[in-house]
Amino acid sequence: MSLPRRVEPELLDGLTAEDPRARRARDDLRRIHRAMATLPIALRALDSGSDGMQPHTLLELGAGDGSLLLRLAHRRAGAWPALQVTLLDRLKLVSDVTLDELRALGWTPSVVAADVFDWLPRVREPQWDIVFANLFMHHFSSAELQRLLAWIAARSRVFFCCEPRRAALPLAASHLVGLIGAGPVTRQDAVLSVHAGFRAQELSGLWPNPRDFKLHEYPAGLFSHCFLAVRK
């Protein structure tokens, strides 16, 4: 089944942080992460990408409430001590409790509330060891992705993203997220996300300097599509 890629605004993106529908949608996303096995998929990719490297800095794009990064920290803080982490999202959603838990694990977090394209030109960080994104890249058109990936390629040693896979099974599953308790916002956005997702080597084709990186683009689990770029 070949679905043309279609990017449309998702309902959650138009809601304020305090809107009860947004709060429920964020709860839904945590359940969806578990249903998609996002954490083990990300851990395998990041372990592979950082093999032989001790990361000191990490940037998460579209970090949301930071819950996924916190789960990752519980699994990797011992191997990656004293990591400086930056959580970027359009809205400030990371709670003080989450930040305190990250600090207790030995990581130093900072939160940036900004649109990614407004923020990028102002960044002074020379390079991050790891740039990570989950269910974020599919929000952008191909032209926007080219801009974003060019910046990431210039500023990272390892980049990994986990996105919806644009295929028949994930599309069918997106219509059934209500079965795991998802609310109306997530029920609509899940379908839109799959239509905006990726397949085959679409992200590799947008990466600006493939000769400088090892690229691996692949399906993961039942519903995910992943892209890993490691600087040579």
Which residue range(s) make up the domain with 53? 11-231
How many structural domains comprise the chain?
Answer: 1
CATH code, domain carrying 117? 3.40.50.150
Note whether residue 6 is domain-resident: no
Residue 35 is predicted with a pLDDT of 86
Note whether residue 3 is domain-resident: no
Residue 1 is predicted with a pLDDT of 57
Residue 127 is predicted with a pLDDT of 84
Residue 63 is predicted with a pLDDT of 96
**Helices within the chain (DSSP H only):** 20-35, 38-49, 67-76, 96-104, 116-119, 142-155, 168-174, 184-195, 202-206
Residue 17 is predicted with a pLDDT of 87
The rounded distance, in Å, linking the Cα atoms of 50 and 189 is 32
Note whether residue 1 is domain-resident: no
Note whether residue 105 is domain-resident: yes
Find the angle CA(70)-CA(76)-CA(80) to the nearest 5 degrees: 110
Q: Residue 44: which residues within 8 A CB-CB, separation 6 or more?
A: none
Residue 125 is predicted with a pLDDT of 67
**CA quadruple 147, 153, 155, 159: dihedral positive or negative?**
positive
Q: Indicate the pTM of the whole model.
A: 0.95
| Segment 122-169, tens digit of pLDDT | 887 678 999 999 999 999 999 999 999 999 999 999 999 999 999 999
Q: Which stretches of the chain score pLDDT less than 50?
A: none
Residue 224 is predicted with a pLDDT of 97
Note whether residue 150 is domain-resident: yes
